[in-house]
Amino acid sequence: MDNERHDNIFDQPQGEKPPAFGCEPVRGLSQAPSRPASKAGAGWRIFWGIVLAMSILANVGLFLAVIGLVSVFAVGSAPGLHEVVIRDGPAGAKIAVIRVEGIIDGELAEDVRRQLESAQEDSRVKAIIVRVSSPGGTISGSDQIHNEFSRFRQQHAKPMIAFMQGIAASGGYYVSVACEKIVAEPTTITGSIGVISWYLVVQQLLEDKLGILPVTIKSGQKKDWPSSFRAPTPEEIDYMDKRLVQPAFERFVDVVAKGRQAVLTPDEIRAVADGGIYVADEAVKKKLIDGIGYLDDAIETIKSMAGIKKARVVEYRKPFSFADFLSVKAEGVLKLDKATLYKLSSPQVLYLWTGY
């Protein structure tokens, strides 16, 4: 009888309630209709997940936009550099650290000029430390920075020393000799007194690979010397050496002679002006620098020169600018325009240590 009753339960049509016999309903039958509902629930979860992700992205974008607007308005309302304290001390006596960092060019020269202006406008600045970490760069940029330091020393009775870190070679050394003394960290690479010139010859690439034949129409024989469209002749190389490299080299030697005249003779300068580099201990022996130490040693040296016992050490830095952030991003994109092609094809005459 029990078996017959259970068989009748399974024989009931779908949708009808089985007769009550005081036993539990079969679980498999009662849960079967729930499958479509679980699929619908999963779909809604995916939908709301997408909405949440889009909302988060929108809020992040809005947050960055607000920061950008605030920074732009902040820079616009308070132009100039911000003073940052790197060694605490009394505000009545300050030592300003002027940074010369990275490849030297016209932009860095302008940044150095603005730092010096900030120091000049503060009567509490008693001395200057020029913090150099650079392999050099363009001749004009190096000379502009050297001129700014020389002019500052002439106009203000404040001691100025150079403090070298990492690499201070070629143009980095060129700007350093404008200071009264030079102190370098033990691992600093310096020297490289000399000039380098280079350019690209793309003749084979254009003619043999791309089938492009450059045509040059010139008013005189030397108008296109040197040319990226053909290999240089010995006459062209000699011409560029005499007209560009040697004059720049002689100016470099003259600048070092004036800056180091108290410790170096002209013959001694010529002996080290072969483009060679020196670590700090060898540079001391060659009289290219005056001492070895770290920033705190340079600070103690300049305090002694300025006749002060305590001082606040400060740097001048650019405020955050959203426009600068966007310009850095834009510079990371390679642009093959006329200016870029001109830079690649024109000879570069540099005060630069290329081992950097």
Q: Which pLDDT tens digit goes with each residue over 186-219?
A: 999 999 999 999 888 888 888 888 888 888 898 9
pLDDT tens-digit series, residues 223-264: 888 888 889 999 999 999 999 999 999 999 999 999 999 999
Mean pLDDT, all residues of the chain = 83
Domain contains 246: yes
Q: List the one residue out of 175, 194, 195, 190 whose CA is nearest residue 271.
A: 194
Choice among 223, 309, 310, 318 that is catalytic: 223
* 334 found inside a domain: yes
Burial class (CB in 10 A: 0-12, 13-18, 19+), 299: buried
CA atoms within 13 A on the CB side of 351: 33
φ, ψ of residue 157 to 5 degrees: the values are -85, 60
Domain count, the chain: 1
pLDDT over 70 percentage in the chain: 74
Residue closest to 193 by CA, chosen among 263, 270, 268, 138: 270
Cα distance between the two ends of the chain: 98
DSSP 8-state class, residue 226: S
Written as one letter, the residue type at 154 is Q
Assess whether 133 carries a catalytic annotation. no
Is a pLDDT exceeding 80 seen at residue 13?
A: no
Is the residue at 7 inside a domain?
Answer: no
pLDDT exceeds cutoff 50 at 351: yes
State both tokens at 130: 């020029």
Domain annotation covers residue 14: no
What pLDDT band is residue 64 in, cutting at 50, 70 and 90?
low
Q: In the chain, how long is the greatest CA-to-CA distance?
A: 126
Residue 256 lies in a domain: yes
pLDDT at residue 200, rounded to an integer:
85
Which structural domain, as residue segments, surrounds residue 284? 80-352
Residue 122 pLDDT greater than 90, yes or no: yes
Note every long-range contact of 119-124, with CB atoms under 8 Å and residues 24 or more positions apart, other chains counting: 119/316, 120/152, 120/156, 122/94, 122/96, 124/91, 124/92, 124/93, 124/94
- What is the bridge-based pairing of β-strands 189-191 and 277-279? antiparallel
Provide the residue type at 66 as one letter. Answer: V
CB atoms within 10 A of CB 307: 9
Helix (H) or strand (E) holding 290: none
- Asked if 159 contacts 127 with a C-beta cutoff of 8 angstroms, the reply is yes
Q: What is the spatial distance between Cα 341 and Cα 253, in angstroms, rounded to a whole number?
A: 32
**Residue 117 sits in a domain of what CATH number?**
3.90.226.10
Catalytic residue list contains 181: no
Does residue 110 belong to any structural domain of this protein?
Answer: yes
Distances (CA, A) of 32 to 27, 39, 166: 9, 13, 75
Give CA–CA dist 350/141, Å, rounded: 10
**Spacing of C-alpha 222 from chain mean position:** 38
Q: What's the full length of the chain, in residues?
A: 356
pLDDT in the model for residue 29: 41
Q: Please, are residues 229 and 346 in contact by the beta-carbon 8 Å criterion?
A: no
Please tell me the number of Cα atoms within 13 Å of 297 on its side-chain side: 15
Q: Has residue 31 been placed in a domain?
A: no
**pLDDT, position 48:** 72
Closest Cα to residue 95, out of 132, 125, 131? 125
Q: Which two tokens stand for residue 235?
A: 């006459």
- The residue among 281, 282, 252, 248 whose CA lies nearest residue 269 is 252
Half-sphere exposure (CA, 13 Å, Cβ side) for 281?
A: 2
Percent of the chain with pLDDT over 90: 58
Q: Which of 38-42, 158-162, 206-210 has the highest average model confidence (pLDDT)?
A: 158-162
Distance CA 173, CA 351 (A): 9
SS3 state of residue 184: strand
User: Has residue 64 been placed in a domain?
Assistant: no
Q: State pTM to two decimals.
A: 0.74
Instruction: Given the residues 118, 142, 150, 170, select the one marked as catalytic.
Output: 170
Q: What is the pLDDT of residues 268-293, one digit of tens each?
A: 999 999 999 999 999 999 999 999 99
Task: Report the distance separating Cα 316 and Cα 82, nearest Å.
Answer: 5
pLDDT at residue 42, rounded to an integer? 67
The yes-or-no verdict on residue 130 having pLDDT over 50 is yes
**Angstrom distance (rounded) from CA 99 to CA 130:** 6
